[in-house]
Amino acid sequence: MSAEDPEIALERHDETFFTDLEALLAQPSISATGEGIAECSSMVRELCLEYGCDEAEVVETPGRPAVVAHARADHASESDDTSNGDRRPTVLLYGHYDVQPATPSEWTSPPFEPTVRDDPDGEQRLYARGAGDNKGQWFAHLCAIRALRETTGLPADVVLLIEGEEESGSENLEWLVREHSDEFESDVAIVADGPIDSSGRPHVLLGARGLLYVDIEARGANRDLHSGNFGGPVPNPATAIANLLASLTDEDGRSTLEGFYDDVRPLTERDREVLDAIPVDEADILSDLGLDALATDPDEGYVDRLLTRPNLNVAGLDAGYHGEGMKTVLPSRARAKIDYRLVADQDPQAVYDALERHAREHAPAGIDVELGRVAAMAPQRTSADSPVVEPAMRAVRDGWDTEPILKPALGGSVPTYVFADALDVPCLVIPYANEDENNHAPDENIKLSCVRAGARTTVALLSELADANLESGSTPV
C-alpha cells in the first residue's frame, strides 16, 4: 500500500481496465440458452483474483453458477484495531455476468465483438452485449478494489456476488444466498444495475419495484368458427379476455383485485420529501414518446405513479385472425400476457391468488379461463432514514462530480429483496450505466466515462461506508 490517491491508480490502469473489460464482453454468457456460461463464470473468477480479491470461487446452483469473491479490509497500522468493537463493516456488491440473447443482423457491430465508437457528442462508448447490463457496471467495482489495494488500502470487507441467471429471473438467487448465508454476512448490499437518470444525473435508489408476470388463456369452442353461423349464441374467448382485462382496473387505473392495496407500505413524511425533490419534465416526456397526454390520477403525480404505486401492464394480446383483408372468424382461444409492478411490502403470491379468484368470478358461461404464473420478484425499499443513505449520496457525488437524485425505488425489478429478506440488511441500487445504454436492445453500450465514474464511486462508497455507523440492529431496512 502507498499514500497515492486511488484516483491516480484508476487513471494509470485505464487502458488495462478497458482491455480486460472488452475481453469479458467478448465472451458470450447467455443464461437463456447456456451459451458460454461455464467459460464466462471461470473468467469472472480469475478477474476477481487478479484484481485483488483474497479468494473467489464458482458456486454451483440448481441453475446457472454464480461467482462469489471476498476481499478483506486492509489494516494500515497496528493502531487500526478492531478488537474493541469498532469493526470494519462488510459491503456486499451484487451484479450478474449473464446477458440477453442478441441478433447480430440488428447490430451496427457484432454483439460479442466489443467496439468503441464516438457518439454525436464526442463521448466514447463501448458497444457490446452486456456492456451496460451488467458486466460494465460490476467490473467498475473490481477496478476500485484494485486501485484501493495498490494505494490507501481496502477500507471495508467486501463480498462480491456475480450471478448467472438475472436475465432469466434470478430463479435461484434466493436459494444461493440462504444456502450459503455465512458467506454473505454483511451490513449493506449495493446493486449497480440499470441506467442513471434520464437527465444524465446519477441517482441513488432505495430499492426496486417487484414483478408478477402472468399468462392468461381463455378457451371456448373446440375449434374456430364462422362468426355468421355461430356468432351470438356461442361465447367468444376474445371478448371474454378483453372484458376480464378491463375489469382489473377502474377508471383511474387502480386495481380492482380484492385486498390488492392492503399491504402497500404507506409513505412517510421523509418519503414525501424525497418524491417532491425528484425533477421531472412531463412536457419533455410527452415530446420524446410522441404522446399528447399521460395517464393521470387526481391524487398522484407522474413520479408517484411510476415509483411508489403498483401498476398493471398488458404486455401482449393474441386472438383470431391477423392477416390482410377479412376473415369472419369466431376464435376458439384468446391469450394475454400481463405484468404487475408491485411496491414495498406487497406479496406477489398474494396478488396472484387474488387474480385467480377474480378471473374465476368474471369468466362468462362457456368460457374456461386458465392462468399461469411465469415469473415473480418481490419488491423492496430501504428506509430513507437509513444511515447508509447519506454516505451513498456523498460517494455518488464524489464519483460523478455532480449532485445525485435520491429516489424511493427503481421502476423496474431487480432482486434486491433477496438481500433485505434473507440477510436483513439495507439495500441500495446505484446505477453506473448511461441513460441510453440500450440494455436488452441492439447496440447495447456503456459510456467509458460512466465506467470511470462508477469506479470512482465505488472507491468513495467503500470509504464512506467504512466510516458510517452500520452496527447490527442500527440500520433500518
CATH of the domain at 331: 3.30.70.360
383 and 247 Cβ atoms separated by less than 8 Å: no
Query: Is 108 in the same domain as 39?
Result: yes
CATH of residue 141's domain is: 3.40.630.10
Name the residue with higher pLDDT: 168 or 40: 40
Residues 334 and 451 in one domain: no
Spatial contact of 207 and 343, defined as CB atoms under 8 Å apart = no
End of a domain among 339, 362, 377? 377
Q: What domain range is 38 assigned to?
A: 6-209+379-467
What is the structure's pLDDT at 468? 87
Q: Are residues 385 and 439 in the same domain?
A: yes
What percentage of the chain carries pLDDT values higher than 70? Answer: 96
Is residue 1 a part of any domain in this protein? no
pLDDT (0 to 100) of residue 160: 98
Q: Are residues 170 and 130 in the same domain?
A: yes
Residue 69 has pLDDT above 60, yes or no: yes
Q: How confident is the model at residue 471 (pLDDT cuts 50, 70, 90)?
A: low
Place of cell 421531472: 280
Neighbours of 165 (CB within 10 A): 24
pLDDT at res. 223? 96
| Residue 31 belongs to a domain | yes
pLDDT digits over 146-186, tens only? 999 999 999 999 999 999 999 988 999 999 999 999 999 99
What's the number of domains the chain is made of? 2
Domain annotation covers residue 251:
yes
Stretch 209-217: mean pLDDT, rounded? 96
Give the model's pLDDT for residue 297.
73
* pLDDT mean over 113-138: 97
90 and 35 in one domain? yes
Of the chain, the percentage scoring pLDDT greater than 90 comes to 86
**Same-domain status, 232 and 118:** no
Q: Please state the rounded mean pLDDT for residues 251-256.
A: 91
Statement to judge: residues 224 and 138 lie in one domain: no
Clarify whether residues 327 and 444 are in a common domain.
Answer: no
Domain identity same for 10 and 79? yes
Question: 476 pLDDT exceeds 70?
Answer: no
Domain identity same for 77 and 144: yes
Who's near 157: CB < 8 A, 6+ residues apart?
A: 70, 71, 72, 73, 88, 89, 90, 91
**Position 343 in a domain:** yes
- Does this model's pTM top 0.95? My answer is no
Report residue 1's pLDDT band, with 50, 70 and 90 as the boundaries: low
Question: From CA 147, how far away is CA 5, in angstroms rounded?
Answer: 9
Assess if residue 116 is contained within a domain: yes
pLDDT value at 430 more than 70: yes
**Residue 256 forms part of a structural domain:** yes
Question: CB of 89 within 8 A of CB of 470?
Answer: yes
What is the distance between the alpha carbons of residues 162 and 95, in angstroms, rounded to a whole number? Answer: 5
Residue 46 lies in a domain: yes
Domain-located, residue 286: no
The average confidence (pLDDT) of the chain is 93
Give the Cα separation of 353 and 214 in Å (integer): 11
> Are 145 and 166 in the same domain?
yes
> Are residues 61 and 193 both part of a single domain?
yes
Judge whether 427 and 290 are in contact, CB under 8 Å: no
